[in-house]
Amino acid sequence: MKLSQAKAIAKAAITVKTDTLDCVPYLVSGAGIGKTSIVHEIAKELSIGCQILSLAQYDAGELAGWVLPNADGETMDRRCPDWMPRDGKGILFLDELPQAPVSNQNIAAQLVNERRIGKHHLPEGWHIIAAGNRMSDRAGTNNMPSHLKDRLMFLDIEADLEDTIGYYYSKRIDERIAAFLRFRPEWLHKFNRDENACPSPRSWERVATILKWSLDPVNQIEAIAGQVGRAATAEFNGFLKVYDVVPDIDKLIANPASADIPDAPDVQYAVCAALSSKMTGKNAKNIVTYLKRLPQQEFAAFVIKDAMNRTDDLKRDLKADASIREWIMSVGKNLIL
């Protein structure tokens, strides 16, 4: 399923109250898809806390709370583990669940099923979401005990281009990355267990950070290759050179009826990404005038969708714009979904 679908299901699981058994969402995917990001987004949208408990980083004693002698010298008691929330509301995010040793997974099973560790209970108002990688990802995962599997709701997530680009635009990530991934979507997520660096939604986000460093061309290539691998870097570096022939976007917006339309698909992707990053309620009419001239209206659809993903306020402005509404009703109703 898409990341956005998993987010919707997980959010419902922790907010909709019923008198039946709770469902604990377990987000399963390859590395770098964005599982942690959506948990943080859910917490932010609900205005609650988010505490990450990386199970693989604890030994069993730390995770369960040490059993220590009482003052009477005759009895023992389990201390409350330091990660256990004491009050308030939030999400306890059990990360790296299958990477944890089986002893830790057995402790997590009690927490998932009974909301407690020994006598120490998870406070009301706190919810559990878990996540991990698949065995096939070779991410140091262990076989999960069957009694723990039975207590989780497995949400199997795959990388999705539209979800990823929507996230990038909402975070104002360099539009050149979105343009490249639309042009070459096969590079969105390509895992190779024999490589040290592979492209993924998370690693491309880090490439956006590298692009801000103003490195010389040789060092920039080396840095990007260390994040997404050399094959993806070679393709991406070639695409960056396309921006040298992209027409002046401000002049294009000012003269949409006469501005040139590039013939090369890679240049069209670059122009459309730039238009998405510049579209506002004030210039939407001019941009739509230009978009209507494109031979493939799929390009117009992604310009408008990506612009709407930048902020909620802009989305409201663009939905209210007469030129965009007319384009959607006449051309884009089957493209903008």
Domain count, the chain: 2
Do 9 and 41 fall within a single domain? yes
Do 107 and 206 fall within a single domain? no
What is the structure's pLDDT at 59? 87
| Cβ neighbours of 331 (radius 10 Å) | 15
Residue 260: both structure tokens together: 């040139």
First CA to last CA distance, the chain: 17
Q: What is the domain extent for residue 51? A: 3-156
Do 72 and 167 fall within a single domain? no
Q: What is the DSSP letter of 25?
A: E
Segment-wise mean pLDDT, segments of 10 residues, the chain, 337 residues: 95 85 90 91 96 90 80 76 91 93 91 90 94 71 83 94 92 93 94 88 96 96 97 95 88 94 91 93 94 92 91 90 91 72
Residue at token pair 């590079």: 187
What is the structure's pLDDT at 333? 73
Do 92 and 21 fall within a single domain? yes
Of residues 178, 183, 184, the one with CA closest to residue 162: 178
Cβ atoms of 1 and 33 closer than 8 Å: no
What is the structure's pLDDT at 136? 64
| Cβ neighbours of 335 (radius 10 Å) | 16
CATH code where residue 144 lies: 3.40.50.300
What is the structure's pLDDT at 139? 52
The single-letter code of the amino acid at 186 is E
- Its pTM stands at 0.81
Do 32 and 9 fall within a single domain? yes
- How far is residue 241's CA from residue 294's CA, in Å, rounded to a whole number? 22
Do 126 and 235 fall within a single domain? no
Do 165 and 313 fall within a single domain? yes
Given 156, 182, 208, which residue is the final one in a domain? 156
Given 114, 136, 156, which residue is the final one in a domain? 156
DSSP calls for 137-192: GTSS--PPPHHHHTTSEEEE----HHHHHHHHHHTT--HHHHHHHHHSGGGS----
- How far is residue 80's CA from residue 63's CA, in Å, rounded to a whole number? 10
